[in-house]
Chain A
Amino acid sequence: MIPDPWAAVLNAVIYLLLAPVVGGLIAGIDRKITARMQGRVGPPLLQPFYDVGKLFEKENLVVTTTQNFYVLSYLVFMAVSGALFFSGGDMLLVIFAFTLSHIFLVLGAYASFSPYSHVGAERELIQIIAYEPMIIITAAGMYMVTKSFYVSDIMQSAVPVVLYLPGVFIGYLIVLTIKLRKSPFDLSTSHHAHQELVKGVTTDFAGPNLAKIEIAHWYEYVFLLGVVYLFFGFNPLLAIAAIIIAYFLEILIDNTTSRVKWQMTLRSAWLVAGTLGIINLGVLYYLRMVVVP
């Protein structure tokens, strides 16, 4: 079912306006909890907003002017994919728009021809191919349970999706670690200074461009956690609890593991998708097609 167009547009607009606020707050909470885990006091809750505000005041220093284009495209298409998701659109279209936006970030890093951003770009690409299969499998799994690719249908489905897709859910949480740029999979760039001082894929972005990337991350957080919601769409309260627990787990993993090599990232992500994902869908397929046709 295609959602009512006006409601869809309204939801998209709400997402576009509120997601940066929510995403920024999540980032603030994240930094606070991380600091407490490391025995520090941590910055104020609104620190991410102060940071971005300050970045916008800085001079726009670039290596090549094309970088502006790539970064803006990254931000725009990240917002587009999130807006499509929250307006209840087709899950696959959302995934493709999401991929498109990341490719722009990678291209922006390639454009500068610095060894650091080059390595960052290659690693970002490896991260993309590591998580992509699992995301597609997630969408396929939700279709098999709810008979629809539309987010609006999946969300309203009374079926407890997570009970049918436990393997897919765990798999999704694992690739979520990659997507949130958390250790052990924060290969291309990390939030932490102890991990690296030269910031991988974002090395050659400064000032307003870096601020745009940060805002794109906020949009991304909200979208990624929205996918967690879909697993628990039958019970909104449970869903919100699940999101909070999932995010707390990600922070915990972030602070208790150290970065692995790209080989390990690719192998573990594909192994998870190839075992948990496929077995889960296989069993579901068997039950649906053979046992109860």
Chain B
Amino acid sequence: MQVSQLLIFLILFPLIAAFFLLFARKSLERNWIVKLAALAIGAVSLWLLVAGFDKGMMMYGVSGKVLDLAMLAIELVIAVYLLWLGLKHKKYSVVILVVIQAALLLWFELTFGHTLVELPNNLFVDQFSIIMAMIIGIIGSLICVYALGYMETFHEHHKEIADRRGVFFFILFVFLSAMFGLVFSNNLLWVLFFWEITTLCSFLLIGYSQTPEATNNAFLALAMNMLGGVAFVVALIYLGTLDPSGRLLELSTLLTSGYAIAIVPAVLICFAGLTKAAQMPFSSWLVGAMVAPTPVSALLHSSTMVKAGVYIIVRFAPVLTGTTEGLMIALVGGFTFLLTSCMAISQSNAKKVLAYSTIANLGLIVACAGVGTYNLMWVAILLIIFHAIAKSLLFLCVGTVEHRIGSRDIEDMGGLIERMPKMAVMMFIGMAGMFLAPFGMIISKWAAIEAFIQAPFGLIFIIILAFGGSATLFFWSKWMGKIISVMRNQENVEKTVPQDKWTVLWILTALVVIVALIFPLISSALIEPFIMDIYGQTTRLAEANIIIMLLMLGLLILMPFSMLLESKTPKIAPPYMGGRTTEGGMKFHGSLGMSRDLVLSNYYLRSYFGEEKLFMVGVLACWGIILIALVMVVGVVL
């Protein structure tokens, strides 16, 4: 089978599954369709890996003119739909943005529609696309399977929310289809089409529960992403003016056409990427998106949506290398990393902590891509992989925990190791994957420091990493400490978690560990050839260091077994409570003979890392930097 057929399968098959799901009435039917479709998508993604990992960039012609018109028509239908919704909910900022974007698109079509030649290669695939496809195809479809059980419980808990599961799963699979389309498209018009579909899907998913809060946050996400969409269309118009035949609309041509031509569209499209990747000042939409059911958050944060944002920025990184514009984009990412890492310290809502951590990690990816040297590109791709796995695991764990203990507050997760032991171990591994040596994210942080120190102005980012990295350490460790604290006489509540969910969670947990073990292979088979093709040189960690890391990981895996080796069971004593003033059972004597339960709470250091203050700083700083970058672009155009 040809690779091109695999690409078309991956784009179209989720779409077909989506339509089946729209009409599946019984949950048994839905379960089977989702599981089989997920299996097929995962398997074909792996097939694509096997078939394409050693072939470099391959391009495929798919006859375009009819499809182009169909896409334009769909985009206009969507615009009308959004216009109607915007007017209905009185969200005039959305209305204005929709009108502007539709007008620009129509103008583009009327001006250049007759001069555009049919592009020879609308689809392409290279190692980076394959990596993205694996993330979407494996992690994305695992999340869809998890969503089956989750939504069942969700609607039992929330009787007030209309059960629209058919539509829900329809959108999930359309989302996957659009993501595949996005990473395989070589034609920027197609990229824009899929880009807008992902915006629409996330809008609909965030607003799923139809509460006023959900609707508001959905529109916030829509407005911010539409702003990026407008910048994207402007970039296309600019390219059309440069060459009315439209050859520059081919991504592979544009990326190699040099600074003078590519920098303006690169900055505009990276601006769109910043909105989609929820960088400051646009971070609030992703934080607001946590009102959605947890599988949606997991999907948005790990394998779709925000990853589309960083995908496009990493694609354009070679254009940004060594430019001031690129440095500006990198600074937006750097500040976002630093500030959101600090903001996460002050949060006790588990999903909010995860959201800020996602934004921070995306910021780091953007910083790497913005500076854009070959070794930073390597780091950026590695970060995308590690982050997707660990973050999806953590979201799904938090979702499951929330349904069992009835809270998503970290303060309520005390003693989880007694109440939900398996889940606590999974969360522990997921968090270790996010910040501890020798797991994924710390490997990337390490490589990032080594790469930044050789890059121009890299010192700024080393400092940012030094401070932001320790903030990261703080909020993960105290959360870890919360779940592993051993409170007595707790009831085990994880027995009711269905087998499907366990399967998904175990696969993701295993992936966190396996990918930390085999990342040198991923690097040499996929990332290094990709970077070699672009820059003519590549990078990797020193072999001795990789061996040391693997030995450390082995040691870490062995350590828990030390508990089995203990010759005699140690004597158990109650924790120290301060002597005479306490009685048994973790209680303190109060006045008038009252007894008070012991309550322990983590530090949130709000006076230092308060959300509002840091958010204001970030918004001002990042808007300032973005405006400078845009002014520079205007300078280039004039």
Interface presence of B575 (CB below 8 A): yes
A166–B467 CA distance with the chains assembled, in angstroms: 21
Residues of B within 8 A of A99 (CB): 436-437, 473
Known: A64-B486, A110-B481, A110-B482. A115 touches B598 (CB 8 A): yes
B465 in complex: contacting residue of A69, A96, A136, A266, CB < 8 Å? A136
Annotate B475-491 by CB proximity to A: 1 below 8 A, 0 otherwise: 00110111011110000
B571 touching A126, Cβ below 8 Å: no
Are the C-beta atoms of B463 and A92 separated by less than 8 Å?
no
Residue from B542, B560, B570 in contact with A60 in the complex, judged by beta carbons closer than 8 Å: B570
Q: Tell yes or no: A203 within 8 A of B by CB.
A: yes
- Judging by beta carbons under 8 Å apart, are A118 and B570 in contact? no
Return chain A residues, CB-CB under 8 Å to B471.
129
CB of A96 within 8 A of CB of B574, answer: no
Q: A59-B571, A122-B602, A133-B466 known; A107 and B563 CB under 8 Å?
A: no
Contact in complex: B576, A116 (CB < 8 Å): yes
Pick from B417, B450, B542, B586: contact of A2, CB under 8 Å: B542
Are B559 and A72 in contact (CB-based, < 8 A)?
Answer: yes
Bound Cα distance from A163 to B245, whole angstroms: 61
A103 touches B602 (CB 8 A): no
**Chain B interface residue bracket vs A:** 35 or more
User: Does the CB pair B600–A113 fall under 8 Å?
Assistant: yes
User: Does B415 count as interface, using CB distance less than 8 angstroms?
Assistant: yes
Which among A89, A113, A128, A206 has the greatest number of chain B C-beta atoms within 10 A?
A113
B469 touches A63 (CB 8 A): no
A12 to B602, CA, bound (A): 38
Residue B47 is within 8 A (CB to CB) of chain A in the complex: no
C-alpha spacing A263/B453, complex, angstroms: 31
Contact B600 A2 (CB under 8 A): no
**How many whole Å from A146's CB to the nearest CB in chain B?**
12
CA distance A273 to B480 in the complex (A): 27
CA distance A126 to B556 in the complex (A): 24
Among residues 416 to 474 in chain B, which have CB atoms less than 8 Å away from a CB atom of chain A? 417, 436-438, 442, 446, 449-450, 453, 456, 459, 462-463, 465-467, 469-471, 473-474
Asked if A114 contacts B562 (CB within 8 A), the reply is: no
User: Is A90 interfacial (CB-CB < 8 Å)?
Assistant: yes
* A73 adjacent to chain B (CB < 8 Å): yes
B485 close to A111 (CB less than 8 A) = yes
A266 touches B482 (CB 8 A): no
Across the interface, do B484 and A69 meet the contact criterion of CB distance under 8 Å?
Answer: no
Q: Is the CB of B478 within 8 A of A68?
A: no
A65 touches B571 (CB 8 A): no
B563 nearest CB across to chain A (Å): 5
State the CA gap A130–B218 with chains docked (Å): 38
Q: Which of B84-92, B258-266, B505-513, B543-551 contacts A (4 or more CB under 8 A)?
A: B543-551
Q: Are B600 and A93 in contact (CB under 8 A)?
A: no
Taking CB atoms, residues of chain B closer than 8 Å to A96 are 437-438, 442, 446
Interface segment out of the listed A48-56, A137-145, A236-244: A137-145
B555 close to A137 (CB less than 8 A): no
B584 to chain A, nearest CB (A): 14
* Nearest 4 interchain pairs by C-beta: A110-B481, A114-B575, A96-B437, A132-B470
Known: A5-B544, A61-B571. 8 other contacts (CB 8 A): A61-B573, A63-B572, A80-B552, A117-B575, A132-B470, A143-B453, A198-B576, A263-B607
User: Which residues does B use to contact A, with CB under 8 Å?
Assistant: 414-415, 417, 436-438, 442, 446, 449-450, 453, 456, 459, 462-463, 465-467, 469-471, 473-474, 477-478, 480-482, 484-487, 542, 544-545, 548-549, 552, 555-556, 559-560, 562-563, 566, 569-578, 586, 598, 600, 602-603, 605, 607-608
Could you name 17 residue pairs across A and B whose Cβ atoms are closer than 8 Å?
A62-B571, A63-B574, A65-B563, A90-B545, A96-B442, A103-B473, A106-B477, A111-B484, A112-B485, A113-B575, A125-B478, A128-B473, A132-B473, A136-B469, A137-B466, A140-B453, A143-B453
